[in-house]
Amino acid sequence: MSQVLLSLSGLTKAYPGVVANDDISFRIGAGEVHALLGENGAGKSTLVKMIYGLVKPDSGAMELRGRPYAPGEPRAARADGIAMVFQHFSLFDALNVAENIALGMENPPPMRDLAARIREVSETYGLPLDPFRTVGDLSAGERQRVEIIRCLLQDPKLLIMDEPTSVLTPQEVDILFETLRKLRGEGTSILYISHKLEEIRALCDTATILRLGKVVGTCIPRETTARDMAEMMVGSALKTPERSGRALGEVALDISGLSVPSPSAFGTALKNVHLTVQQGEIVGIGGVAGNGQEELLGVLSGEILTEAGAVKLMDRPIGRLGPTARRALGLLTAPEERLGHAAAPDMSLTENALLTGAVREKLVHNGFLRWGATRAFAERIIADFDVRTPGPDTAARALSGGNLQKFVIGREVLQNPQVLVVNQPTWGVDAAAAAAIRQALLDLAAGGAAVVCISQDLDELMEIADRFAALNEGRLSTPRPTAGLTVEEIGLMMGGAHGMEVAHV
């Protein structure tokens, strides 16, 4: 390793009930791309927040270029040459690109000069951007560019990137990697956080692996197999879901010529979507976030109404039916956002079981609630899906992401749907829970249900889906059998590089 840029020693941070980081030590060299690898909940986010000055460690110390480094706030971190590209939550939809970038700088130049600088830097690094466009109208990849440019204008010594490729198509990932390699060539260090092993092998020089808040290993990714890294990350050999051969039945869900505007200001309208799903089949729908996934789920759940014939369930037009009527007919859904959409955070699991189970589980009689039966249903979900919780009286928000997701998926699966539509079923969920959820979807299809799985995790879709289609700016590509699909083909279905220029470096 060349000269050390940042060294962490013994960093520890505890929150009530959980030690997020336990005695973490490692070093990042100058001009090095250093991977921080770990599952959801391994403590990666807390660690980078400490480096970026958002969270103060309980104990331990950091040194930057040999001098003690203890940023009191992000401003101090930025002043010391540390910049961060966030996974979420750091752009302002209603403001334009230049304003967004100005907010991330200490002493931004006047707007006109800043706009010129943005044009210049973005061209240099192959990430063209119009400084006066409203950020809410940008694609996910372009939004990330805004964040990256914001960092680059600060001339960072260390660039922290938190799961940067989760919002990109494979082609866009290539562009990003070119940019990052160029930065490395100029001597910038990069701390690259991810759980995607192939990416890390392609890009990173060193990797530190975290599990349950502790460093469990370091390796040179180029010289380590993905399998070995995965086992270090998860701590045990992974069980791949079993797929059994399934006989396909009649067409259960038929979407034809579906076009609807988005209900939200910065949403994506669906444009002429066609899709049929047969009984016993899992159709995977990929695509970068914000290309109409939420709207597609809303159209199927009944939260967004369409022309009657645009959505058919077992040949019956249901486009004008609301969620309750659709559930009665056997079309069940599980939205992406667990807290606040799929479940009410402050309500108990029993009440949350009632939320979608009222009709099919007969939890309501003449408008009056059958609390006993509801509680029994909640307990059945908890038992069958191994939801770790003190009991059905616990509030939904008290559950971990993985456990709540198991509850949400279990709630729908146990109601014996004809068609189940899930959006991001394993997002932010630990590996064991993710495997259990995927298995449940496979079992459901094996039992004769039609399943639509919307996900941004391509590996997941390749693992469980029979056919694959991608959403791109509200349009759905023609579904193709997953067997034999290449990454390039998938990338093109997802819209390629979204008309972005490839980096000229």
Q: Summarize as ranges the residues that interact with other proteins (CB under 8 A).
A: 15-16, 46, 49, 53-56, 72-75, 78, 86, 89-95, 99, 102-104, 108, 265, 301-303, 322-325, 327, 333, 335, 337, 340-347, 351, 354-356, 358, 364, 367-369, 371, 394-395, 397-398
Amino acid at 415: Q
Shortest distance, position 101 Cβ to other proteins, whole Å: 11
If we measure between CA atoms, which residue out of 443, 385, 431, 466 comes closest to residue 242?
443
Residue 22's SS3 state is: strand
Place of tokens 């180029």: 222
Looking at beta carbons only, is 107 or 244 nearer to other proteins? Answer: 107
Our measurement of the distance from residue 288's CA atom to the centroid of its chain's CA atoms, rounded to an integer in Å, reads 10
Looking at beta carbons only, is 49 or 438 nearer to other proteins? Answer: 49
Looking at beta carbons only, is 171 or 403 nearer to other proteins? Answer: 403
Shortest distance, position 256 Cβ to other proteins, whole Å: 24
Q: Which residues contact 166 (CB under 8 A, 6 or more apart)?
A: 87, 289, 456
Length, in residues, of the chain = 505
Looking at beta carbons only, is 202 or 328 nearer to other proteins? Answer: 328
Shortest distance, position 72 Cβ to other proteins, whole Å: 6
Looking at beta carbons only, is 334 or 440 nearer to other proteins? Answer: 334
Shortest distance, position 391 Cβ to other proteins, whole Å: 12
Shortest distance, position 349 Cβ to other proteins, whole Å: 11
Shortest distance, position 97 Cβ to other proteins, whole Å: 13
Buried b (16+ CB within 10 A) or exposed e, 440-449: bbbebbbebb
Looking at beta carbons only, is 128 or 136 nearer to other proteins? Answer: 136
Looking at beta carbons only, is 73 or 384 nearer to other proteins? Answer: 73
101-110: Cβ within 8 A, 24+ apart: 101/131, 101/146, 101/149, 101/150, 101/153, 104/78, 104/147, 104/150, 104/151, 104/154, 105/150, 105/153, 105/154, 106/75, 106/78, 106/79, 106/154
Q: Read off φ and ψ for residue 73, nearest 5 degrees.
A: -160, 165
Shortest distance, position 443 Cβ to other proteins, whole Å: 24
Looking at beta carbons only, is 17 or 499 nearer to other proteins? Answer: 17
Contact 444, 437 (CB under 8 A): no
Looking at beta carbons only, is 135 or 490 nearer to other proteins? Answer: 135
Shortest distance, position 34 Cβ to other proteins, whole Å: 22
Shortest distance, position 494 Cβ to other proteins, whole Å: 26
Look at strands 467-472 and 475-476 and give their pairing: antiparallel
| CA distance to 39, 340, 426, per residue, from 348 (Å) | 28, 13, 22
If we measure between CA atoms, which residue out of 85, 303, 71 comes closest to residue 183?
85
CA atoms of 70 and 63, how far apart (whole Å)? 8
